Amino acid sequence: MGRSINVLNMEYISKTQKKKDATALQKLGEKLVKLSADQLADIDISEDLLDAVKEARNIKSHGALKRHIQFIGTLMRNIDSASIQEAIDEIESGSYKKAMDFKETERWRDELIAGNKELMEEILEKYPSAGRQQLSQLVRNALKEKKENKPPKAFRILFRYLRDVRKSVV
């Protein structure tokens, strides 16, 4: 008693390993619950699992939510969780890329305002949709605004322009 043998592979699976596997599935289930409806729609999961995930979003009690996540983990034992994990990893890496793009756009804006002419040339070369005249004007407006201690309206407009230029290539 307490010993399990996987009949397909004829290998022993310890109780500890079973618990680790169950915990991993529960954590994967938690990630599913935290996804937006659009992100969840992109993942191929069974109708039962989808209903359980949607139901978990309506649970307010911590204890009840914990039990429901365990239930989701139980449902996931019968399906291929690797494909779900891959889909979640892809979604999370996409969020990371967006954050990095945002930071780089901020850096560009700050360096352009600081007077980095080489960066302006790089941007104009890499992104043909960027207009030299418009970009120069936006930088001048943001610089003037900064010198006069005005609210950062042109500063934000420059950021949006740089962001849109980056998106135009993708």
Residue 64 falls inside a structural domain: yes
Percent of the chain clearing pLDDT 90 (strictly above): 40
Range of the domain at 23: 4-79
Integer Cα distance of 115 and 135 in angstroms: 12
Same domain, 114 and 142: yes
Q: Per the domain annotation, does 22 fall within a domain?
A: yes
Instruction: Please check whether residues 75 and 123 belong to one and the same domain.
Output: no
pTM: 0.56
Q: Which pLDDT score is estimated for 9?
A: 59
Last residue of a domain, one of 45, 79, 113: 79
pLDDT tens digits, 82-108: 888 888 888 888 877 888 888 999 999
User: What digits encode the pLDDT tens for the residues 73-88?
Assistant: 999 988 888 888 888 8
Q: Does residue 99 sit in the same domain as residue 133?
A: yes
Number of domains in the chain: 2
Are 38 and 9 contained in the same domain?
Answer: yes
